[in-house]
Chains A and B, each alone.
Chain A
Amino acid sequence: MDNYAVEMLGITKIFNGVKANDAIDFRLRPGSIHGLLGENGAGKTTLMNILYGLYRQEEGIIKINGKQENIDSPTKAISLGIGMVHQHFMLARPLTVVENVMLGHKSRRGILLDTKETAEELKDLSDHYHMGIDPYTKIYQLSVGEQQRVEILTAIYMGAEILILDEPTAVLTPQETEEFFHTLREMRKDGKSIVLITHKLEEIAALVDEVTVLRDGKMIGTRRAEGITKEELTRMMVGRDVMFNFPPLAEMNLGVKLSIRDLTAVNDRGVPSLNGFSLDIHGGEIVGLAGVDGNGQNELCEVLTGLRKETGGSIFLDGEDVSGKTPRFYIDKKVSYIPEDRHTTGLAMNWNLKKNMILKAIGSKRFMKGGLMNEKLITQNWDTARDEYQIKAIDGDEKARALSGGNQQKLILARELNADPDVLIANQPTRGLDIGASEYVRQKLIESRNGGAAVLVVSADLEEIMQVSDRIAVIYGGRLMGILPRGADVYEIGSLMMGKRQEELAHE
């Protein structure tokens, strides 16, 4: 029987009655790189946060090097040789690298700081792994990739033998990713055990020894990475029973409504994330945009609603070039947007429901009387919306944050659809909703299409894409990989999502 560096047995974690982890078994071999694969919300990060002592599991035991341990805090985890690098870095930006490492550390020189010794040790460690980090640089002067290396360096310096990395390549450019993988391989050579949380299939093939797949909080299985095909992984990751419950196909074709040409844009970190994306959407059709998260979908939606400036390319609305306009312009042109992030973008959480219904209509004559916003008109508007969209709320005077996620989404839906949109952009419209609410939202998207709107539905949920789309577009690396008709093979979509072009597929 093998010894394991980490054994997690029967781990169950419940958030608000939802099982984020359901009796998961996870075993990490010493000196190996282990991929933890799954879609967003599958429970990967939760599982690793339990191992790192940030959460306590409701059930299950954890063994480190064969010995059962009670990990009740990150401090305990660190003392057991476990280190974790989160998606969001936890570095003090004005301080130097060595100062960050020393934070919360006992100095060997009593009340004096042991900066010099620590810096030398860090330098050695950095050189050993070819990280090229100067301990005296300040954090804010470092690139994102370098900051990540600092995080890893810190973990190893603190004695981590087991290293957990949460979607480490999400913030890296391809070149940085290459270097980063090289570093990880060196660490493996030194006998360190590494868990790589990811939803990118290429990383499994390139780097990993073993892979464990999670889906909806359950463990699907652990495989040796060698010889496993991407198709097999896709099936494990996505492979639920796909519902083939199509609404009738779009009957009308109202011509091209929204035309996107060679669009380029950078993300918040300044990294190019749309790289010449083109797509036409007709009135009266739903185009589903499939793709693994973080391939430019958010940036696309934001450019299409004026929230982000494109760096190149153009957008045509009814043939008119509307590139570079403000959000107000798009609102006035009847482009509605259901954003991915309800909490910071879609709703003013501390405003009441009535006012949230008119967020985009401040100053509109419809809700004004005598130069002032009229409470009565605003209340009427809310009452109508509440009845039509079955929003469960007390009286509209409560704050948006008091609503459940499903009802929040219904409120946004009500606001955006009541604007009678010509174009509707819906970014992850059902993320985090229960089945009933999801069905309702999809139904409304279809109704909007039947009313003649050009609808773009962005979703990481393939089932949803298959259910609502008239055509399925696939995005990867900020480019359009291909357009498939409804009813296309789910594995064909999966291949495009992994970055194979449609033309290449045809040749296989």
Chain B
Amino acid sequence: MNKKFRDSLINLGETLAMLVLALLVGALMVKISGNDPLEAYSAMLTGAFGKNPLKSQMKIYELLVKVIPLMMVAFAMSIAFKAQLWNIGAGGQFVMGSIASTAVALYVPVPIPFRIALSLAAAIAAGAFWGWLAGWLKVRFNANEVITTLMLSYIANCILLWLINGPMQDPYSDLTQSDVIPEAMFLPRLIGNYRLHSGIFILVFVAVVMCFFWKTPLGYQIELVGQGRKVATYSGANVDRTIQTAMLISGGLAGLAGWIEMFGILHRLFPDIASNYGDISNIIALLGGLNPYGIIASSFFFAVLINGGSSMNRMTNVPYSIVDVIQGLIIIFVIAKVILHRKNSSAAVKKSK
């Protein structure tokens, strides 16, 4: 137990060191661009937390608002990733969930409470179906899920564009967007007029479930499939079914994230509703080591980076793209860490021989 604790401390230390390195190299970039790195980073921090964190509630609530979709989608991805299924198309599953739930909210004439439940189910089902498609393609045709999830993501976005330019276009304007969903269906705001909404409870619920998920037999099974098809089959797992299940759950969670965002913040469909959640959550999941606690921590880190980054963009001459640079650097360091570990462990094996 002691050793386990020490190992996770070392792991945490390494991750932090990586982040510091990424921020340092980022600082160098800021310097090269002719700005003051200290000024940039302090603008980022005040942008995320306000000048006096105790007084600027709004900033904190905005952070939480940002954390909700990021963490949800990162959880979604982590489930597929554990099975070594690189579902990088969670953004598309998010979009499908948003479309399905908005359609239900706008067009299904049942009482509001039923309609909310129905839209929730539709979001999860649509996301799950979109994820499962990639899983099925892999099992049936051995199609690489990196490609299929990415392509399905494009398709989802095209469907969205078609719908809001055609059948679902806002009848009251010429804009490329849908009608607003009935106000009675909005997720209630928690504090005054701040945007923080009750979707956060769903996130908390999902986070708690995720902390136990990897201890369930299904969690074990999904992780085992990630260890290799041969050993999983040998152990009696139905690999094909597990792949499809993992993609189903992964897509379903992404769809749920779409529902929360739609009913909590956006309230209507427009182009690019998934923003770049798919890409950033990908990094969050990997930075968190696919571990639920790690994902929770790195979601907050990225929320700070994004919210702070846009303030920095407004308040200084440093462009927002520096945030993208830092993201890119983090990916590089995550990969470097994995490679380093692999080298170390193979060196250890050699030594023990």
Contacts and interface: CB of A to CB of B under 8 A. Distances in A.
Interface of A: 16-17, 305, 307, 326-328, 331, 337, 339, 341, 344-351, 355, 359-360, 362-363, 368, 371-373, 375, 394-395, 397, 399, 401-405
B235 A402 contact: no
A394 B4 CA distance: 12
B223 to A, nearest CB: 8
Contact of B220 (A349, A362, A403): A362
A360 B235 contact: yes
A344 B232 CA distance: 10
Interface string B333-353: 000000000000110111011
Interface string B226-266: 01101101111110000000000000000000000000000
A344 B4 contact: no
B212 interface: yes
Nearest to A362: B220
Given A326-B238, A359-B224, A397-B4, A16 B353 contact: yes
List the 9 closest A-B pairs by CB distance, nearest first. Answer: A363-B217, A348-B227, A328-B236, A359-B235, A372-B215, A362-B220, A331-B236, A345-B230, A344-B230
Contacts of B216: 371-373
Given A362-B221, A373-B216, A349 B227 contact: yes
B3 interface: yes
Nearest to A348: B227
A327 B234 contact: yes
Interface string B98-113: 0000000000000000
Q: Which of B4, B224, B235: most chain A CB closer than 10 A?
A: B235
Contacts of B236: 326-328, 331, 360
Interface string B20-52: 000000000000000000000000000000000
Contacts of A402: 345, 348-349, 352
Nearest to A350: B227
Contact of B231 (A17, A345, A373, A394): A345
B237 A362 contact: yes
A487 B349 CA distance: 40
B3 A397 contact: yes
Nearest to A374: B215
Q: Which of A339, A341, A363, A399: most chain B CB closer than 10 A?
A: A363
Q: Which of A341, A362, A401, A403: most chain B CB closer than 10 A?
A: A362
9 contacts: A339-B234, A341-B230, A344-B228, A344-B231, A346-B234, A355-B220, A360-B236, A372-B216, A402-B352
B17 to A, nearest CB: 22
B234 A362 contact: no
Given A337-B234, A349-B227, A359-B235, A373 B345 contact: no
B350 A16 contact: yes
Contacts of A305: 234
Contacts of A397: 3-4, 7
A307 B224 contact: no
Nearest to A363: B217
A94 B181 CA distance: 51
Contacts of A327: 233-236
Nearest to A392: B352
B215 A373 contact: yes
Contacts of B224: 348, 351, 359, 362
A368 B217 contact: yes
A491 to B, nearest CB: 36
Contacts of B4: 397
Contacts of A372: 212, 215-216
A399 B224 CA distance: 14
Contacts of A350: 227
Contacts of A339: 234
Contact of A347 (B223, B231, B237, B350): B231
A366 to B, nearest CB: 12
B233 A307 contact: yes
Nearest to B352: A404
B4 to A, nearest CB: 6
B349 A359 contact: no
Contacts of A16: 350, 353
Contacts of A337: 234
Nearest to B216: A372
A381 B51 CA distance: 55
A429 to B, nearest CB: 15
Q: Which of B224, B234, B237: most chain A CB closer than 10 A?
A: B234
A362 B353 contact: no
A349 to B, nearest CB: 7
A359 to B, nearest CB: 4
A372 B216 CA distance: 5
